[in-house]
Amino acid sequence: MIIKCLALDDEPLALEKMSNYIIKTPFLELVGLCRSGFEAIDYLSKQKVDLMFSDINMPDVNGLDFVRSLHQKPQIIFTTAFSEYAFEGFQVNALDYLLKPVGYNEFLKAANKARNYFETFLPVPVKQENDREYLFVKSDYKIVRISFDDIIYIEGMREYVRIHLGNGKAIMPLISLRVLEEQLPSDKFMRVHRSYIVNLQKISTIDHSRIVFDGKIYIPVSDQYKEFFQKFLSMHSLG
**Is residue 219 domain-resident?**
yes
Q: Are residues 30 and 112 in the same domain?
A: yes
Q: CA 159, CA 179: separation in Å to the nearest integer?
A: 11
Segments forming the whole domain that contains residue 20: 3-121
Total-model pTM:
0.55
Q: Are residues 114 and 141 in the same domain?
A: no
Q: What CATH number does residue 59 fall under?
A: 3.40.50.2300
Residues in the chain, how many?
239
**Is residue 126 domain-resident?**
no
Instruction: Name the E strands within 62-150.
Output: 75-80, 96-99, 134-139, 142-147
Count of the separate structural domains present in the chain: 2
Q: Are residues 21 and 113 in the same domain?
A: yes
On whether the CB atoms of residues 142 and 109 are closer than 8 A, the answer is no
Q: Are residues 117 and 185 in the same domain?
A: no
Q: CA 171, CA 154: separation in Å to the nearest integer?
A: 10
Block means of pLDDT (10 residues each) for the chain, 239 residues, are 91 94 91 90 89 86 78 86 56 81 93 86 50 82 90 89 93 87 87 93 87 87 86 74
Q: Are residues 65 and 147 in the same domain?
A: no
**Is residue 64 domain-resident?**
yes
Per-residue model confidence (pLDDT) at position 146: 93
Q: Are residues 115 and 178 in the same domain?
A: no
Provide the phi-psi class of 168: left if phi over 0, else alpha when psi is between -120 and 50, else beta: left
**Is residue 168 domain-resident?**
yes
Per-residue model confidence (pLDDT) at position 95: 87
User: Which of 116, 123, 200 shows the shortest CA–CA distance to 154?
Assistant: 200
Q: Are residues 138 and 200 in the same domain?
A: yes
